[in-house]
Structure 1
Amino acid sequence: MLTVKLPSTLQPGKAIAITFDFTVQVPLQEIVGAIGGDDTSRGPNNLTAGHWYLVLPPYKDGAWDLPEFVPVGDPFTSELADFEVNILAPEGVTIAAGGDEVREGRLWKYSLPKARVFAFAASPYYDVQTMSENGVTYVHYGFPRYKAISEDVMFTAQRAVELFSRLYGPYPYKTLRVVQTDRAQGQEYSGMITIGAVLYRGYTGKGSRHDVIATTVHETSHQWWFNVVGNDQVRTPWLDESFARFSELKFYQTYYPKDVDWWYSNYIEGRRRASGKIDQSIYDYANSARYVEAIYRNGLEFLRAVRDQVGKQTFDDILSDYYAAETYKITTPDAFFDAVARHSDEDLRGVVKAYFASSVVLPCKLSANEPGCRP
């Protein structure tokens, strides 16, 4: 944490420019690990710079919000910012980053408005392929040995954007960059997703029964749940990861209905059991495995339980309404339940009790007007 003392009090509505001159020593990929712990790292083929710069934390209730970093989940809460970034790269190195790109030789310029984070990847080996559909340009950056399937990965991202734009709201940028990295997993950033090279292994370019397809869909959905609808990823991580997992399910139900049982068995039942309460902070899970069991798997089960109780079409309407109401905000559990209450009067107390560790003050419509409910 870096504290900057201003020469005078900064009044509301006023601005000040602060310049930092710093160097980042990027660690080797193999010496860092766990979900979220290695999003700025380097491997034999590329460098990934995720959360690599100084970030102004949220200011709420009269104080700066300064959560402790732990290598579980995504230990960040990112408010909106407009990014203008210039990257001077070595000769022969390709840069991949979110936003509108202008290249002048070794200088790569990016403009990324209304974003949660500016990330980039760099490699001398990237093979770059591009496609455009319905006003969005998709760019895939991959290592040459995976060139044969890069179009399939890019096509998956395009289909996901088309689906989620119909279900939730329009994709917020002109470009989506899908970037292969030396990391072992996928990661979401504003206008860009990264997919670990290990996830490409074994995929032949046919069908959907593979980690690279499911991961591409999952990370793409974060452009809606994390980027446009922000959340406190430290204290309420279920508000993006559970919705991203649910979006995966919707993708398979829409495009690969015969593979839904495979997807459910592989990602919800097969690898680890769905267990744990979903409304806890990242500090409440002993390790990444427990975090995944609760937030990704049980979080999906919670959303399915709500959907089953209110009805599928009603739940689709709820998600669209919730997305519109929380666009470019830091959302809360109350905001989600308020959206549910605008479309349903089903009693959700039993569902909430099954999946939440803490008591929740539900809207009166969702709790049979129990004493103390929210109007």
Structure 2
Amino acid sequence: MNNEITSLNGIRAKIKEKKIRWQAERTSVSGLSEQEKKMKLGLKLTDKQKQMVSRLSLDRPEIRAIKKLKYKPAVGLPDSIDWRNVNGADWTTPVKDQGGCGSCVAFGTVATLEALLKIRTYNDASINIDLSEAHLFYCGCGDCCNSGWYMDDACNYLKNNGVPDEDCFPYQDSGVSCANTCSDWTDRIDHTKITNWANTLDVNTMKDNLANNGPQITGMAVYEDFFYYSSGIYEYAYGDLAGYHCISVVGYDDTNACWICKNSWGPGWGESGYFRIAYGQCGMDDGFGMWNMEVPSPEGNGYAQYILVDYDCNSDNRVLWAYAGDAWRYKYLTDDEVAGIAKLLMESCSVYVYWKEDQLTYISGIK
């Protein structure tokens, strides 16, 4: 605790000296050991990114030339956007905690994908989408808690495979492997198989993607002071490099010259699990850039006029039938899904469904 207080006092002194705009406090992660703090990160650098780190002196923050940047918005873009409140709706999903495993790449990627599905695929902020970070991390990377993972590899896994729901493979930060994922995970990926992804270092393109597509994925260098972040607009103040981190960017604000980001250290850290960071900080803009994912659109969607669950004539499988879009659509149900569907139907006033050709791909209950 003495070391924690000493560090906190040093950070506060530097914040005051540099006249920067954030508050440092003891937080849920500030008292962790150096090794435990490293396990709250987990972005693995490619050779190209390692060269970038050296060129930008991200590993030597005391000599890095930090510029306070105010980017002018590109023509046709808003001065700010925050997907926690667009047209009065929150399009993000709840903040999670990666625990003591360097799995930030899975958490930052899944947080971004969940929001994009709500925005672009389903166009419904109320849909409950909860995907499995455990599946993406342990099946995409393997035993990687200590080594971390590459961003490109996570995006490629989603493009090739998609990812199932959280119930298929609930997250644990140790003691599990891909063998723990559910046996029917390929039937539970819905629309999570992304169609494409791209990384950009152009700030106007980043903003355009944020405004016209949705949240983005990025990387950042993390220094000792960041673990003490409580609120405000973060800028480097004090401390050595701890490692590299992946987060989800949910917006930007040109008036305050900052990005708005979702972290994976639980809702008790920072600004309810989020933080704001000044343009030009920690290599986000000029080093890592942002990864933009493109998600698929369902072929059709609408309210189900009639719903029934029946047995398949040729097997013992249950089948969910829904009459929507002037036709009957169907979905074969696993034993585990039967109880969930029954609960959804009992608790919902109406049911909204999505389909591709005659097969149902997603069912949402509206209370």
Check whether TM > 0.5: no
- Which is richer in strand? 2
TM-score, structure 2 normalization: 0.27
> If each structure's helix is expressed as a fraction of its own residues, which one has the higher value?
1
Q: Which has the higher contact order (CA 8 A, sep 6+)?
A: 2
